[in-house]
Amino acid sequence: MIKVSNLDKSFGDKKILNDINFTLKSGEILSIVGDSGSGKTTLSKIILGLIKPDRGQIIYEGVDLVNLGKKDFKKYRKDIQIISQNPSSFFDPSMKLGRSVIEPLKNFKLKLDDEKLKDLIEEFKLDEKVLARYPHQVSGGEIQRLSIIRALLLEPKILILDEPTSMLDISVQAQILDILKRIQVDKNMSYIFISHDMEVVEIFSDRVLNLKNSKLI
């Protein structure tokens, strides 16, 4: 699905990623674990094209994403979406959630499928009324579910889940991971699951890689 080879990244003198190599297979949940500051989030930002690596390749559908310009990268960007640990920072505080949720569709010139949005709202056990609220009027669990719905409306092939439940309570965590797993199986999606919670990782993922001292082990 996606092949990462010889990836290096430093910030100043500090080497964050050192010769990272891995392949994400189709329909696989690959977990990347490591302590805070180990470079997990930097790696996800590089895959998303938000940061350029110092060296290395990311091959997706036969194309090296690292060497693409912004315009060419956009063709592939819809296929790779991210869910962050702090979803409220992804939502405009002055915009109602219903509008924010469909905003990325506009960026990719796609039309909203009302039925699909309704089904996802139902699947994620949300009340439709939540769409009429502002980000500060909903709980952390509700806004995280909406951020996942927003990503799924784009029908991505790869979802990067960057500590998606670390800010949530355990019951909401269990519900969200259960739904994500069902969707992944139904749609044969691939997930990169970034976490520091080994118990969750063992239950949720097919394969685990450990990022330590800037290297994958």
Partner 1 sequence: MGDIIFEDFNVNFETRKQNVKSVRDMNLTIKSHKITGIVGESGCGKSVLSLSILGLLPDYAKTSGNIYYDNKDITALANRVREKYLGREFGYISQNPSESLSPIRKIRKQFYESLDLVEKNKAEIEKKSIEILKELGFEKPLEVLDKYPFQLSGGQQQRVLTGIAISSSPRWIFADEPTKGLDENIKKDSLELFKKLRSFGIDSTLVITHDIDFAKNLCDEVMVMYSGQIVEMGIDVLDNPKHPYTKGFIESMPSKGMKIMEGKTLSPTEDIRGCRFANRCGCKTKRCDLESPKLYNYENSQVRCFLYDKGE
Q: Which residues bind partner 1 (CB under 8 A)?
A: 35-37, 85-86, 125-127, 129, 132, 137-142, 163, 166-175, 177-178, 196-197, 199-200, 203
In the complex, minimum distance from the CB of residue 187 to partner 1, in angstroms, rounded to a whole number: 20
Minimum distance from residue 34 beta carbon to partner 1 (Å): 9
To partner 1, the closest distance from the beta carbon of 160 in angstroms equals 17
Using the minimum distance from each CB to partner 1, give the nearer residue, 36 or 69: 36
Q: Where are the beta strands (DSSP E) in 71-185?
A: 80-83, 158-162
Kindly tell me which of 167 and 208 has the beta carbon lying closer to partner 1: 167
Give the three-class secondary structure for 161.
Answer: strand
What 8-state DSSP symbol labels residue 85?
S
CB 144, min distance to partner 1, A: 9
**CB-based contacts of 103, cutoff 8 Å, min separation 6:** 95, 150
Closest distance between partner 1 and the C-beta of residue 97, in Å? Answer: 13
- Name the DSSP class of 163: S
49/140 with CB nearer partner 1: 140
Which residue lies nearer to partner 1 by CB, 36 or 94?
A: 36
3-class DSSP assignment, residue 95: coil
Q: In the block, which residue shows the tokens 């939502």?
A: 91
Distance in angstroms between the alpha carbons of the first and the last residue of the chain? 21
CB 173 within 8 A of CB 200: yes
Nearer Cβ to partner 1 (160/177):
177
Q: At what angle do helices 170-187 and 140-152 cross, to 10 degrees?
A: 10
Question: Half-sphere exposure of 35 toward its Cβ, with a 13 Å CA cutoff?
Answer: 3
Min separation Cβ 71 and partner 1, Å: 33
Query: Exposed (0-12), middle (13-18) or buried (19+): which is 186, by Cβ within 10 Å?
Result: exposed
Q: Select 190 or 195, whichever has its Cβ closest to partner 1.
A: 195
